[in-house]
Amino acid sequence: MFFEGSEKKLEIIVNASAPKLRSLDRTFWLKLVAASNADILSSISNEYCDAYLLSESSLFVWDDRIVMLTCGASTLAESACYCIEHLGEQAIAYVCYQRKNEYYAHLQASSFSDDVLRLRHFIAGQAYRMGHLDSHHHYIFTTDKHYQASRLDTTNELLMYHISGTVADYLRGDQQSTIQISQMLQLEQLFNGFSVDQHLFSPLGYSINGIRGTEYFTIHITPQENSSYVSVETNIDISSTQVDIFAELVRLLQPNSFDIIGFNSHIANKPFPHYLCLSHCAMTIEQGFNIHFSHYQQNGLEVLSPTLL
Amino acid sequence: MFFEGSEKKLEIIVNASAPKLRSLDRTFWLKLVAASNADILSSISNEYCDAYLLSESSLFVWDDRIVMLTCGASTLAESACYCIEHLGEQAIAYVCYQRKNEYYAHLQASSFSDDVLRLRHFIAGQAYRMGHLDSHHHYIFTTDKHYQASRLDTTNELLMYHISGTVADYLRGDQQSTIQISQMLQLEQLFNGFSVDQHLFSPLGYSINGIRGTEYFTIHITPQENSSYVSVETNIDISSTQVDIFAELVRLLQPNSFDIIGFNSHIANKPFPHYLCLSHCAMTIEQGFNIHFSHYQQNGLEVLSPTLL
């Protein structure tokens, strides 16, 4: 029943001189996704963005950038290489490649070091680890090129591990519907006015993409007992919403631990009731992103049973 | 500068009908150690025990049992298989094979699952994981055979990660001596009356074996910044010593986190000042061992800098 829910993530921003990404033909996107060993399941579009739901997570395409997340043992660095090679290194303004904390790193097709070696065949960049190796940590590769991000270019990621409670039980049950899941997660209240595209996986798993103008959110749930994982990512400024989106999702999904990763975000080191922030790591890169990583854990002793293997 | 300090551990107990293990010739031990890709560096002996210091940790041999620890990317499961095959499965009363929390699981020659598959070619047994996959955890394989351990057959293991302070700085320095290290660790006070065998590794690292009658202790230090690890293991009843040995070593080495593993031990869930016990897992196996695993972390937010890779 093991499935590695935790994602690799890729963001590529192109120069003004590059072709508009949304004008590229479907073959390009099929090949880009195939390079990660994933498939396109469905898509939604609005004036600004095409949002693809993938067999392994999501791809969002705007005219000047893509954001792609892939879980499992997918090979997202290959999609990055394919994209840079196809568009030409000159067309690229900025690349950010991330790997989130994995349950079973040894089952991956490559290590982060392998990925960085591969990426550096195509583009120069710096690689960092945020957080201790033996605890939750986050890997990030960013390009060296001259690029200046807007301070308003924000992304917030919430990565929850070992979910519990009523919603988690429902997600592990036999009978599920996308309507029921989005209701239980209060997604209409949390992400009001978004067009959404949802998918239930067999035997377990749920994905949703949402877009509203240039904004997006995406949620991926791997509910499997002992290795459950839920990721939430959005480019809306969650510090200014009426409802505290991340606090609400943590309350609903009751993870044993979670990480928050922010780019130009205002929620670093935020207190969460019943959780301790165990470690925090931040850096500002030349390209105008302040990046922070915080690891939270339920406050109090957790008494575990041994897992028979 | 990375070295995986965390060990695999093997304990094999033989039946009364088996040959006395200390009577086996040196070739047997050389081959057993070579199966793990390790070498014997030196040894000390007393009436009951031969203690070998290895290039990758330690081997202790009594007439009825062995305890072997190997670090790095060593292949200790192969030593287990060699021993069982050579002595004959009939001669074996009990086998326990453990893998401690690793920094870089993907650099190991095998996963724990691989090791269990291999061991099961030679002997039947149960495999468990204690602790969540994404936090500190411990793997353990124990044989199914009828065997009854004495309640006095105790082992205590203290595994420290990310050490800091004066002693840690000394251990990372250019000038070191075994005398100075054992003085800084107060080993004469903590393990009084033990004969010891110590070794300094190049460029860094320290190992010590100590024996006193049938008792042993062993300490292995990998001080490397960002991946430091110190293991302490002994079969003395540390709940009845004058000095609280583990508390003292934690105070001296100031780890960011540590795990305690006990077999028929009385120190499960012990409070340590300035540390939180985040998780605890215990089980009693038919062979008469109560096994517990506890994971501790420094109380308070740790602010980390990103590590440039």
In chain B, the percentage of residues whose pLDDT exceeds 70 is 99
Q: What average pLDDT is seen over chain B?
A: 95
Q: Summarize the confidence of residues B243-260 as an average pLDDT.
A: 96
Question: Which chain A residue shows the shortest CA-CA distance from B107?
Answer: A106
pLDDT attached to residue B168: 98
Residue A215 pLDDT > 80 = yes
Q: How far is CA A267 from CA A235, B40, B88, in A?
A: 13, 54, 61
State the smallest CA–CA distance between residue B135 and chain A in angstroms.
6
Contact B99, B110 (CB under 8 A): no
Q: Summarize the confidence of residues B278-306 as an average pLDDT.
A: 95
pLDDT digits (tens, 9 = 90+) for A16-32: 999 999 999 999 999 99
Scanning A114-133 for CB atoms below 8 A from B yields: 116, 126-133
Residue B270 pLDDT > 90 = no
How many C-beta atoms lie closer than 10 Å to residue A188's C-beta? 12
Give CA–CA dist B12/B287, Å, rounded: 13
Scanning B125-184 for CB atoms below 8 A from A yields: 126-136, 139, 161-162
Contact A28, A83 (CB under 8 A): no
Q: Is the dihedral of CA A184, A190, A193, A198 positive or negative?
A: negative
Q: Name the band, by pLDDT with cuts 50, 70 and 90, for residue B268.
A: low
Question: Which chain A residue shows the shortest CA-CA distance from B113?
Answer: A309
Verify whether the Cβ–Cβ distance B129 to A302 is below 8 Å.
Answer: no
Scanning B1-60 for CB atoms below 8 A from A yields: none
State the smallest CA–CA distance between residue B260 and chain A in angstroms.
14
Structural domains of chain A in order of their starting residue, each with its CATH number: 8-298 (3.60.90.10)
State the smallest CA–CA distance between residue A290 and chain B in angstroms.
12
Question: Which chain A residue shows the shortest CA-CA distance from B116?
Answer: A309
Verify whether the Cβ–Cβ distance A306 to B128 is below 8 Å.
Answer: yes
State the smallest CA–CA distance between residue A126 and chain B in angstroms.
8
Q: Summarize the confidence of residues B280-297 as an average pLDDT.
A: 96
Is B73 in CB contact (< 8 Å) with chain A? no
Question: Which chain A residue shows the shortest CA-CA distance from B269?
Answer: A301
When CB atoms are compared, the residue of A130, A304, A309 closest to B306 is A130
Going by C-alpha positions, the residue among A66, A52, A136 that lies closest to residue A96 is A66
Question: Which chain A residue shows the shortest CA-CA distance from B108?
Answer: A106
More confident residue, A288 or A239: A288
| Beta strands per DSSP E along chain B | 8-14, 40-45, 50-54, 57-61, 65-70, 92-99, 125-130, 138-143, 155-161, 195-200, 206-212, 215-222, 229-234, 257-263, 275-285, 289-298, 302-304, 307-308
pLDDT digits (tens, 9 = 90+) for B66-93: 999 999 999 999 999 999 999 999 999 9
Question: Which chain B residue shows the shortest CA-CA distance from A292?
Answer: B306
When CB atoms are compared, the residue of A105, A131, A276 closest to B304 is A131
Q: What average pLDDT is seen over chain A?
A: 95
When CB atoms are compared, the residue of A126, A131, A297 closest to B308 is A126
| Non-local CB neighbours of B208 within 8 Å, separated by 6+ positions | B178, B182, B187, B196, B197, B198, B199, B217, B218, B219
Give CA–CA dist B186/B253, Å, rounded: 12
pLDDT attached to residue A240: 85
- List chain B residues with CB under 8 Å of A110: none
| Non-local CB neighbours of A124 within 8 Å, separated by 6+ positions | A143, A144, A145
Verify whether the Cβ–Cβ distance A133 to B103 is below 8 Å.
Answer: yes
When CB atoms are compared, the residue of B108, B126, B280 closest to A303 is B280
